[in-house]
Amino acid sequence: MRPDTHLVHGDPRPEGDSALAPPIHPSATFVARDAEDFARMAGQVMHTRYYTRYGNPTHERVAALIAGLEGGEAALVTASGMGAISTTVLALVGQGDRVVAQTAHYMGTARLLAEMLPRFGVTVTLVDQADTDAFVGAIAAGARLVLVETPANPTLALTDLRAVCAAARAAGALVVADNTFATPLNQRPLALGVDVVVHSATKYLGGHHDLTAGAIVASRALIERIWSSAIVLGATLGPHDAWLLLRGLRTLALRVERTNHNALAVARHLAGHPAVAAVHHPGLESHPQHQLAREQMSGFGGVLALRVHGGYAGAARFVSRLRLFTHAVSLGGVESLVVHAAAMWAGTLDDEQMRVAGVQPDLVRLALGIEATEDLIADLDQALAG
Ligand SMILES: *Cc1c(COP(=O)(O)O)cnc(C)c1O
């Protein structure tokens, strides 16, 4: 099945169930038939009917759909994207290990690397992801785990997944990729050599800004290893949100197609606008890694960043004039969203950290929704005119 079809038919109805729409299993616990059955249930790995922190039939169904979409053997769903990332990293590293990661990561991931891992005796080396030689060199110097995120927030810089995976294989390290920005429809990291894919399913997979969830996809052996930490860390996805995620996934292919289209059309339009100083989007020929984007992505995603003339105040004024782009964090839902990057991180990063993260005072991030392209462009034009 192609991905569009898999999203609709990839989680077959259980035998004997005539309901077309999937059921929700809210039960926190499951009934054993007898003592022997109870012992069998308790001894299983990745239970689906024992106790919901260990697994649940609604989890199982949505996890199968996501695993198939990424081309992985198995998946786990978690209560958030950070639940997926921290569970995966804590499951795979220990005292004395070294993690190689990027200078640009989602803020929660950056804090896991900078603040938490060192407390457990894990060393972290951060590299500029666009500098493939530096990345490969840092991995060759020794690593247990390599953490990548491509395209990255907020500059849309890319990581060369094939090169990083080859270096990691040679060094005996596992590679974990955050595929949230790209989605499995635009980029399949497992096929490029990545060992584990993580997602904030809060974004495109859920798609409606109405749930918080995460996902982890890998080989069955790795997922079983991560599962044994997941049940201890307890970032358990509620069955109702698991069901809502399943519901959202049905239309993922349609939504991604439109958001890809909107982002590229808006990026091209803004690149020619006199009030705009720069546009960052991997689909633009002007993106310094456009060739890499063409090699490892089949679509360029729905996020772009622009710099406006007029500095911090100009960016703030532009954002406040927008009507169809809602001023809110997050991305990947049906509504287009906008954030003023420097304002978002003012409380967290100092000036030097902002510079390293590529957050200039005039940088604005747009996360395209599924509205009509012409309406979005008209809204951007009227805001820029001001
Ligand atoms: C939002 C996001 C996360 C964190 O996901 P939550 O669901 O908010 O915990 C991680 N990585 C990326 C790239 C994200 O955009």
CA of 82 relative to ligand 1 center, distance in Å: 6
pLDDT at 350: 85
Average pLDDT of every residue of the chain: 96
- Placement of tokens 């060094």 in the chain: 171
**Neighbouring C-beta atoms of residue 345, cutoff 10 Å:** 17
pLDDT at 43: 87
SS3 367: strand
Rounded CA separation 32/8 (Å):
32
Q: Of 202, 238, 159, which is closest to residue 337 (Cα–Cα)?
A: 202
pLDDT at 359: 86
CA of 113 relative to ligand 1 center, distance in Å: 15
Residues in the chain: 386
Q: Is residue 47 pLDDT above 90, yes or no?
A: no
In the chain, the percentage of residues whose pLDDT exceeds 70 is 100
CA of 363 relative to ligand 1 center, distance in Å: 20
Rounded CA separation 329/366 (Å):
10
Q: Of 311, 217, 297, which is closest to residue 263 (Cα–Cα)?
A: 297
**Domain map of the chain by residue range?**
3-249, 252-384
pLDDT at 175: 98
CATH of domain 3-249: 3.40.640.10
At residue 369, what is the residue type? G
| Top mean-pLDDT range of 4-13, 339-348, 376-385 | 376-385
SS3 215: strand
Rounded CA separation 193/74 (Å):
16
Rounded CA separation 233/79 (Å):
11
- Placement of tokens 């904030």 in the chain: 200
Across 34-43, 204-213, 248-257, 321-330, least confident range: 34-43
pLDDT at 158: 98
CATH of domain 252-384: 3.90.1150.10
Structure tokens at 297: 């992505």
Q: Of 83, 59, 28, which is closest to residue 241 (Cα–Cα)?
A: 59
Return the best residue to mutate from 148, 203, 245 for the ligand 1 pocket (most ligand atoms within 8 A of CB).
203
**For ligand 1, is residue 202 a contact (CB within 6 Å)?**
yes
Whose alpha carbon is nearest atom 7 of ligand 1? 81
pLDDT at 353: 81
CA of 114 relative to ligand 1 center, distance in Å: 17
Handedness of CA 158, 162, 165, 166 (dihedral sign): negative
**For ligand 1, is residue 178 a contact (CB within 6 Å)?**
yes
**For ligand 1, is residue 310 a contact (CB within 6 Å)?**
no
pLDDT at 274: 96
Q: In what order do the strands lie in the sheet with 174-178?
A: 74-78, 214-218, 196-200, 174-178, 145-149, 98-102, 123-127
Mean of the pLDDT values across residues 228-252? 98
Looking at the DSSP assignment, which residues form a beta bridge with residue 367?
A: 303, 337
**Is 106:176 a contact under the CB 8 Å cutoff?**
no
Whose alpha carbon is nearest atom 11 of ligand 1? 106
In the chain, the percentage of residues whose pLDDT exceeds 90 is 90
Mean of the pLDDT values across residues 191-209? 98
Structure tokens at 129: 């992801």
Instruction: Judge if pTM exceeds 0.95.
Output: yes
Q: What are phi and psi of 119, to 5 degrees?
A: -65, -20
Give 323 or 344, the one with higher predicted confidence: 323
Q: What is the pLDDT of residues 280-292, one digit of tens each?
A: 999 999 999 999 9
Structure tokens at 229: 């930490």
Structure tokens at 307: 């710099």
pLDDT at 13: 85
Q: What is the pLDDT of residues 331-366, one digit of tens each?
A: 999 999 999 988 888 888 888 888 877 789 999 999
Mean of the pLDDT values across residues 74-90? 98
